[in-house]
Amino acid sequence: MKRRDFIKAGTIGAAASTLAAPAVAQDITQWTMVTAWPKNLPGPGVAAQTLADRITTLSGGRLEVKLHAAGEIVPGPGVFDAVAEGTAHIYHAVPAYWGSKSKGILLFGSQPFGLRADEQVGWMVHGGGQELYDEMYGRFGIKPFLCGNSGPQWFGWFRNEINSVDDLKGLKYRTTGLASEMCARIGMAVQAMSGPAMFQALQSGALDAGEFIGPWTDSALGFHQLAKNYYWPGVGEPSSAEECGVNADAWNALPDDLKSVVSTACASLYNDVWTEYETKHALAFKELVDNEGVIPRKLPDEVVMAMGDAAADVIEELRGDSDELVGRITESFLAYRDSVGAYMTYADNGHMNARAKVLGY
């Protein structure tokens, strides 16, 4: 039986045999969403629920999306495969989790010394990024959309101060995506894991340090209870895009107006999610510093420069990847970053630097 027929006619997949397939009764289509997050985790968990609700509302109830948090149907790291295989119809996660599929995927989420949140969506919409995004994910039977962004992330939580590159060598550190490769090149012992697992690893000593997102989400997970030195800037992730991926057969089965509902819901959520992060990060950061004993510390310039060199090596390897699509994605990203980045020297960067001189922030 072809996957398209399976999705239309039977259960969604053997691993979810109790779930209804995209049921069409009285013109109502039902989709199962799986996510990489605990339900209602401040930041991504909230955003996932908002997306499910927004698709349902904008469709007038014709496309109902029911969210299942990480572990309810599949574990968080399994949501990509679940949607690709037809076990679920749609997922909410981040591209940084799918590097084992192709390193080219990682550029759609975050890039060391790369794009800010506004630049990231600019590349997708105006710089040819979406076409490459569709081509890459199409290999796996998924239609992808960006649907949010965390804004600038932090370098993370450390028990001890960092004064040099040598202080990072051998340090057991949680991060993800291309930041993992950058950090490994300067000698850090990088590990990938979920936010809740990071707390447990810090608590047990299995990790020395780690980053997850930023003050709002990080404080909800309690990292400040275990480490007080909070390092910035998070050069590994100047922004981190959130995405939804839709099973391609489920997507193709939708009428055009419901396709527009899904794409509009994702696009409309991007700014809502990004600005909520920025607003609530600021409030949480003040609480952490004022009342929780957290000490914000700036990475030494020596460390930033070493990471810049390592990041350049990572990107250069992507340019020469044996998969020509990875090379095309990398060249497109670099062209957009360099064009917009050069202009921002005079525009946004110029304004922010001027404001800092006058107001101190």
What are 357's two structure tokens? 């001189």
d(Cα 230, Cα 240) in Å, to the nearest integer? 18
How many CB atoms within 10 Å of residue 361?
6
Is 211 within any annotated ligand binding site?
yes
d(Cα 330, Cα 320) in Å, to the nearest integer? 9
What are 353's two structure tokens? 């630097």
Q: Which residues make Cβ contacts (< 8 Å) with residue 177, sequence separation at least 6?
A: 94, 95, 96, 97, 99, 106, 109, 110, 236, 237, 240
Is 212 within any annotated ligand binding site?
yes
Is 237 within any annotated ligand binding site?
yes
Do residues 238 and 114 make contact, with C-beta atoms less than 8 angstroms apart?
Answer: yes
d(Cα 159, Cα 46) in Å, to the nearest integer? 29
User: By three-state DSSP, how is residue 354 classified?
Assistant: helix
What are 110's two structure tokens? 């975050």
Is 174 within any annotated ligand binding site?
yes
Q: Output the known binding site.
A: 153, 174, 211-212, 237
Q: Output the known binding site for Na(+).
A: 212
Q: Output the known binding site for substrate.
A: 153, 174, 211, 237
